[in-house]
Structure 1
Amino acid sequence: MKLPLHERERVIIKTREHSRVLRQPVGAFLVLTALCTFSLGYLSRDDLSDWLASNANVWMIVAVVLWAALVLIWSVIPWARWLRSRIVLTTERIMFRPTYNDGKLQSVGLFTVRDLVAHSKAKNAMTRAGTLDIVLNQGYVRLSHVPSVQYFRSLAMEAMANLRSSQSMAHTETTNSEGMGA
C-alpha cells in the first residue's frame, strides 16, 4: 500500500488490526466445514430412506453451495476486511483504515492530538492488544484492536514531543534570524 506522505514525513510504525479479530471467521469456517462434511457423509450412505435417497445428489449440491456461500460471507469477507485494515504512525500524523469503512485512509494530525489513552483488558496481557483513544479538542477517535497498544502509544507520544520541539526550534530560528538583519 502506497502511503500519501508529506515532504519530510517518515513512517515510524505500520501495522494492521490485531489478528484476534479473525477468531470468529476461523471458527465459523471450521464449524461450517464440519457440518458440510457430516451432511455429505450422511447423504452418501446406502441405508437412506427412499425419499431422501432419490434426491441425495441434489441435496449434496445444495449442501456444498450453501457451505460455499456461508464461508464467503462469514469467513472470506471478514478476512479480506482485516487484510485491508491499516494503522500507521508517521512523524506528523496517525493514519488508519478501519475494518468497516469504504476503503478510505483517514488521518489525524499529531498537532491536533491532546492526549492518547490506551485501554487493554487483563485477559489480553499476553497479546497486549487493546483500544487507543485519540483525544482531540472536539471529541475523540477510537482505534480498536491495536497490537501492543501501550508501545504504540509511547511511540506516538514520542513523535508528538519531537514534532512540537522541532516546530518550536524552527519558530525560534525564524524569529532570531529576522532580528539579526536589522
Structure 2
Amino acid sequence: MGYPKDNLAPDETVILHRHPHWKALVLPVLGLLLATGAVGAAWWWSRSLEVSDTTETVIGIVAGVLWAVLVIWWFVAPLVRWATTHFVITDRRVIFRTGVFTRSGIDIPMARINSIQFRHDLVDRILRTGTLIIESASDDPLEFNDIPQVERVHALLYHEVHDYLTEDDDETAQP
C-alpha cells in the first residue's frame, strides 16, 4: 500500500515509501507466543484440578481476558504502531509520520538537507536495516531507526538531494 496521495502537494511524486524493518515486530510476536503459551498452560492446569464447573468457567474466562489484554498490549499495539509509521521520500521532501491517536511527523525539504549518514551494527547488516541520519539546515541531526535497506535508501536520498540542488542551480542560472 502506497503513501496516501492526498497528503502530498500537487505534482509531488513518491520515490520511496517504507515502514520500519520487520525486526521491530520480533519481540511483539514473541510476546504473542509467550502469552498464548502461558495462558494455554494455565488453562490446561486448571482443567486438571478437581473444582466445580462454575470455578472452571470463571478460570477460563479470566484466562481468556488475560490473554486478550496481553495480546493487545504486546502484539496488536506494536503492530498498529509499526503499520502507522511511514518514512517517505518524494521528489521534494523527506516525510516521517508516526502514531495512531497522537500523530506526529516531520517534513524535511530537499533544499535544506546538508548531510545524510547511515549507521548499522552487525545484526543490522545481516538483516539489511539500520539508522538513517539526516542533518538539515540549523537543526540537530534527525535519526530514523530501523529503515529497511538503509544503504540503498541513503544512496537514493543522496541522489535525490543532488538532483534537486542541481535542478535548482540550473533554474537560477538561466536569465
8 Å contact kept, 2:15–2:90: yes
Report what 1:161 is aligned to.
162
Cα distance between partner residues in 2 of 1:28 and 1:62:
19
Q: How does 1:16-27 map to 2 (within 5 A)?
A: 16-27=19-30
Cα distance between partner residues in 2 of 1:57 and 1:25:
29
Q: Report deviation, 1:126.
A: 2.5
Matched, 1:138 2:128: no
CA deviation profile, 1:72-109 (whole Å, cap 9, x unmatched) = 11111110111111111111110011358822442111
Matched, 1:93 2:93: yes
Q: Report deviation, 1:56.
A: 2.3
Report what 1:119 is aligned to.
119
Cα distance between partner residues in 2 of 1:36 and 1:6:
49
Match of 1:22, as an amino acid?
Answer: L
Q: How does 1:56-67 map to 2 (within 5 A)?
A: 56-67=56-67
Match of 1:126, as an amino acid?
Answer: I
With normalisation by structure 1, the TM-score equals: 0.86
Report what 1:38 is aligned to.
41
- The 3-state SS of whatever aligns with 1:139 is coil
Cα distance between partner residues in 2 of 1:95 and 1:130:
18
Cα distance between partner residues in 2 of 1:143 and 1:100:
18
Give 5+ residue unaligned stretches, structure 2. Answer: none
Q: Report deviation, 1:57.
A: 2.0
Report what 1:179 is aligned to.
none
Report what 2:16 is aligned to.
13
Cα distance between partner residues in 2 of 1:152 and 1:110:
14
Cα distance between partner residues in 1 of 2:10 and 2:33:
47
Q: Report deviation, 1:138.
A: 2.4
Number of paired residues?
169
Match of 1:14, as an amino acid?
Answer: H
Larger radius of gyration: 1
CA deviation profile, 1:39-78 (whole Å, cap 9, x unmatched) = 1111112xx25xxx13222112111111111111111111
Match of 1:2, as an amino acid?
Answer: P
8 Å contact kept, 2:21–2:129: yes
Match of 2:159, as an amino acid?
Answer: E
Alpha carbons of structure 1 residues 134 and 101: separation in structure 2 relative to 1, 3 Å: farther
Give 5+ residue unaligned stretches, structure 1. Answer: 177-182
CA deviation profile, 1:118-153 (whole Å, cap 9, x unmatched) = 011112223220011111222121111100111101
RMSD: 1.7
Alpha carbons of structure 1 residues 99 and 153: separation in structure 2 relative to 1, 3 Å: farther
8 Å contact kept, 2:97–2:105: yes
With normalisation by structure 2, the TM-score equals: 0.89
- The 3-state SS of whatever aligns with 1:33 is helix
